[in-house]
Amino acid sequence: MSDNELFTHQDGTTERLKLRLRQHRPLGWAELETHGTVAGLLGQLGAERLPRRYPIYFSASVRDALNDVLSQLARRSTYFDRAWILLNARTTNAAPAAGFVALLSLAQLCQLPPDMGSATLVLDNDRIIETIGADGALPGGTLEYQGAEYVGDAAFLGPREGELVLVATPSTPYFDRIRTRHSYYCVLNPMHRTRVTTDYVSLRNLFLQQDYPNVHAAIPLRTLFDSRVPAERIVLDSTTLFAIGLPQGEPVGLANCDGTANRIRNILFGSRHTIARVGRTAVIDIEKPVIRLPEEMLDLLGVASGNQVIVEAVSVQSGRSKVARASLRALPWRDRSPLLIARSQTGVPDNQQLVGDEDFPQISLDLATRERLGIVPGSAVYVRPAVSSLLAREFSSVSFILIAAVFSAAALQSAALAIVSASIYVLLAMFVAGVRLR
């Protein structure tokens, strides 16, 4: 039996790295013989992400020929990808497979040796995989659309009481349903309506909380329903999965999450938000109701320094999840000391190594706020503008005009005109705030 291997091609040289697949863990978390993970190295190389690769079954006799072809393609142009993965496999009867599984990107599916077509195999991490023929590769054949199924998954996933285990599937085919709401929503099959009895659900990374028990790998979501979604799947966009440190196509835990959604606010002002990673705060901000944000996040939210923002997170109390919120004054990051950066990263998993992509911007919350929200450093939270703060800004921006209009109407002894002027101004301010939030 050959080794599980990752091949990379850089500067005209092909390098071979051995992999250690972790049993009952995502393929992207396979560890390199040097350091890091498969997902992390693919991200650093700019190679295709692992979930978007195709599993192709080859005979053991063409292993060297396949490597030669892929090396030549990589030398010819970076378009052909600079990495490929070769994995051992066995049959579902535990007998060694006649060949190996290659995880290849769409650009690499040309000029390849003959493959062995479709087969159901089991990899060394106990993931069941359906290989495809290179000639018939379609988007539905990638790892993320196949979805991860593991041998004996009920024994190791360990869902909590009342938690539903579903496999994540990409949101692209359901864009007509989600539209611009993206990472604030998930889409489920209608058969789960009876299980979802709250405005929000809690989404949890089952793997990460086993590896890092002190990490809070959960995020709140609103729900939509669509009969096109298979009963065993949940539609999630990549942003949501990055937030909890999970590659697309893996199982997640879903549970009811107490909390009331403000539907009127969403209708009037939309769902503008961003996701951020929580870090510790500087001494100057301790025990103060403030949040430090990168300036690009302030721009994205459409708020200015000093405006109020709302931070939302999943808090678990007495074994039940709820949406916790805190209204805080947003201030931009200044220079952060190396000590603060180091303290914010201690004990926190490297999300770039987990999903192979850059992580979210980090925000600063003090211990009192983190405990109120039920989160820890490394947790993902939603940050959205506080509508009241934006309305106050709109009112103040033309307050002198309003005062002048009211006094002019009063001078003309027309109470009706004063009321109409004030009403028009209020409606105009709400309209402008709503446009800015969408």
DSSP-derived 3-state class of residue 32:
strand
DSSP-derived 3-state class of residue 28:
helix
Residue 399, pLDDT > 60, answer no
- End-to-end CA separation in angstroms for the chain: 56
Domain shared by 82 and 10, yes or no: yes
Chain segment 119-160, per-residue pLDDT in tens: 999 999 999 999 998 877 777 789 999 999 999 887 788 888
Q: What percentage of residues in the chain have a pLDDT greater than 70?
A: 81
263 or 201, which is more confident? 201
Domain shared by 193 and 237, yes or no: yes
Chain segment 153-180, per-residue pLDDT in tens: 877 888 888 899 999 999 888 888 776 5
In sequence order, which residues have a C-beta less than 8 Å from that of residue 84 and are 6 or more positions away? 6, 7, 70, 102, 103, 104, 105, 108
Question: Of 368, 387, 406, which residue constitutes the final position of a domain?
Answer: 387
* Cα–Cα distance measured from residue 244 to residue 226, given in angstroms and rounded to the nearest whole number: 24
Q: Which amino acid, 284?
A: I
Domain shared by 190 and 105, yes or no: no
Chain segment 218-228, per-residue pLDDT in tens: 999 999 999 99
pLDDT given at position 270: 60
Arithmetic mean of pLDDT over the chain: 84
Residue 308 inside a domain? The answer is yes
341 is in which domain, residue-wise? 264-387
pLDDT given at position 427: 65
Domain shared by 222 and 283, yes or no: no
Domain shared by 255 and 346, yes or no: no
Residue 214 inside a domain? The answer is yes
pLDDT given at position 17: 94
260 or 297, which is more confident? 297
Domain shared by 30 and 127, yes or no: yes
Residue 220 inside a domain? The answer is yes
Domain shared by 164 and 181, yes or no: yes
* Cα–Cα distance measured from residue 142 to residue 35, given in angstroms and rounded to the nearest whole number: 26
* Cα–Cα distance measured from residue 127 to residue 104, given in angstroms and rounded to the nearest whole number: 17
262 or 56, which is more confident? 56
Residues 250-255 have a mean pLDDT of: 94
Half-sphere exposure of 161 (CA within 13 A, CB side): 3
Q: What percentage of residues in the chain have a pLDDT greater than 90?
A: 45
Domain shared by 23 and 73, yes or no: yes
Domain shared by 345 and 397, yes or no: no
Residues 370-397 have a mean pLDDT of: 79
Instruction: State residue 419 phi and psi, 5-degree precision.
Output: -65, -45
pLDDT given at position 280: 85
pLDDT given at position 209: 82
pLDDT given at position 13: 86
Domain shared by 52 and 65, yes or no: yes
pLDDT given at position 398: 56
pLDDT given at position 269: 54
Residue 149 inside a domain? The answer is no
Question: Of 369, 387, 405, which residue constitutes the final position of a domain?
Answer: 387
DSSP-derived 3-state class of residue 328:
strand
pLDDT given at position 397: 58
Instruction: Return the closest-CA partner of residue 101 out of 74, 134, 144.
Output: 134
Chain segment 67-119, per-residue pLDDT in tens: 999 998 888 877 788 899 999 999 999 898 999 999 999 989 888 999 998 99
Q: How many helices (H) and strands (E) does the chain have?
A: 15, 22
Q: What is the CATH number of the domain that holds 182?
A: 2.40.40.20
Q: Among the residues of 212-333, which ranges form H helices?
A: 238-243, 263-269, 295-301
For residue 48, what pLDDT band results from cuts at 50, 70 and 90? Answer: very high
pLDDT given at position 120: 94
Give how many domains the chain has, as a whole number. Answer: 4
Domain shared by 79 and 169, yes or no: no
Chain segment 187-204, per-residue pLDDT in tens: 999 999 999 999 899 999
Domain shared by 274 and 197, yes or no: no
Q: Tell the residue number behind the tokens 């049993």, with chain if given.
A: 23
DSSP-derived 3-state class of residue 1:
coil
Residue 435, pLDDT > 70, answer no
Chain segment 400-434, per-residue pLDDT in tens: 555 655 556 555 566 666 566 666 666 665 655 55
Residue 53, pLDDT > 80, answer yes
For residue 35, what pLDDT band results from cuts at 50, 70 and 90? Answer: confident
Residue 241 inside a domain? The answer is yes
Strand order in the sheet with 13-20: 31-32, 13-20, 5-10, 83-87, 99-104, 54-59
Beta strands (DSSP E) in 246-286 are 251-258, 274-279
